[in-house]
Amino acid sequence: MAEKKKGRLTNVLDYLKHDDPFSKGVAFCPGCGLELLLRFIPRVLGNDIVITGTPSCSAPVLLGQNRQSWHTLSYFGTLMTGAAANATGLVRYYKKAGIDNTVVCFNGDGTANDIGFGNLSGAAERNEPFIYICYDNEGYMNTGIQKSGTTPYGATTTTTPYGTVHRGKNLRRMNLGLKMAMNKIPYTATATLSDLEDLAKKLLKAKKAKERGFCFLHVFAPCPTGWGADPADTIDICRQAVKSNYFPLWEAENGKIRMTKTVKKPKPVSSYTKMMKKFNHMTEKDMKILQEDVEYEYCLLGGLSVLEAECQLPVSAEDGGEKL
């Protein structure tokens, strides 16, 4: 028989240096982006990290039940309101005790952007030396798919339904990653599951940068159950989100933004939204609003990434603005 044609094994496998600490059968929905992310992090960063987390879709698996666990990691379950404050306590204790390890504060967007934002902001201000990872499934999934601050314009959730009165969420999505990068913390990055090598590199960079202080990763992680998507499409949804600039990939060291992937010809955002039911009802007019919002945020990112090179005064100070 002729020798079988072989390709090259993907580079991503080189980053998976450690064992998977989770048992094989854990309770996440089929095709869940969160599951892939959660298994990936300790395989890249090592099994000796300490994870903290809140009530969310990750909690049933991270917490364990009765006296048994689903994994061999050290985990500290906290309240949604105090996620980053609890992680702060942990790193400070470790520092005093002279223990060198990595604390990963792992939370959903509901905790990071909304309910636990106050103390996330405080930890960033004080530059606490741990890694905060927000997995963004664009809503409060564990309590039944309610909208969060990162739910995009138009998306239906159980609190922003589509019907005779409402047409999905009528507010725009907040940009959590940029919000954090603006604090000039040592490392901020966005990442997603279609670009796993990029994600692995960013995790390793964060592990190093946390020696200098607070690190924040914003990871786009689709939820097929809540978004009405085919579980098989999870990775492709991430890919389309990047290709349409809906979720651009960038990193910022000390606030200085650098794109880690640029898309030559961005696809219309409809190539992304058509992959899930939560956007099914959207008309051309609705889509235009979402498209313009995506373009606005991308321009903002572009502007910020050249800021250091050609810093300009805000327009109003030059012309038109009131002179004092």
Partner 1 sequence: MSSNQFFNHQGPWSDATEPLMCTDTGDWRTKRPVVDREKCIFCGFCAIYCPVQVMEMKADYFEPDLGFCKGCGICAKECPKNAITMVSEGEFVS
**CB-based contacts of 290, cutoff 8 Å, min separation 6:** 152, 153, 154, 269, 273, 282
**At closest approach, how far in Å is the CB of 226 from partner 1?**
15
Task: Choose, by CB under 6 A, the member of 142, 156, 192, 291 that binds ligand TPP.
Answer: 142
Nearer to ligand TPP, 115 or 185 (CB): 115
**Residue 80 in tokens:** 């949604």
Q: Which of 37, 38, 50, 141 binds ligand TPP (CB under 6 A)?
A: 141
Which residues of the shown chain bind ligand SF4 in the complex (CB under 6 A)? Answer: 28-29, 32, 34, 57, 137, 141, 223-226
56 versus 188: smaller Cβ distance to ligand TPP: 56
Question: Of residues 78, 86, 88, 137, which one binds ligand TPP by CB under 6 A?
Answer: 137
Select the residue interacting with ligand TPP from 36, 52, 56, 175 (CB under 6 A).
56
d(CA 146, CA 41): 26
Q: Per rule CB under 6 A, is residue 80 in the interface with ligand TPP?
A: yes
Please identify which residue in the block is written with the tokens 């995506």: 294
Give the chain's radius of gyration (CA, Å).
20
Query: Considering beta carbons, is residue 7 or 98 the nearer one to ligand SF4?
Result: 7
* Cα distance between residue 212 and residue 189, in whole Å: 16
* Contact of residue 67 among ligand TPP, partner 1, ligand SF4, none (CB under 5-8 Å per partner type): partner 1
Could you give the count of Cα atoms lying within 13 Å of 183 in the half-sphere of its Cβ? 22
List 256's β-bridge partners, or say none. Answer: 253
289 binds, among ligand TPP, ligand SF4, partner 1, none (CB under 5 to 8 A by kind): none
What is the nearest approach in angstroms of partner 1 to the Cβ of residue 69? Answer: 3
**Distance, CA of 27 to CA of 48 (rounded, Å):** 23
CA–CA separation, 36 and 297 (whole Å): 27
The runs of H, that is alpha helices, within 217-275 are 224-227, 234-243, 270-273
Residue 135 β-bridge partners: 108, 219
Q: Give the interface with partner 1 as residue ranges (CB under 8 A).
A: 4-10, 12-13, 16, 20, 23-28, 30-33, 35-36, 39, 47-48, 50, 63-65, 67-76, 97-101, 193, 196, 224, 230-236
Q: Which residues bind ligand TPP (CB under 6 A)?
A: 55-58, 80-81, 107-111, 115, 137, 139-143, 148
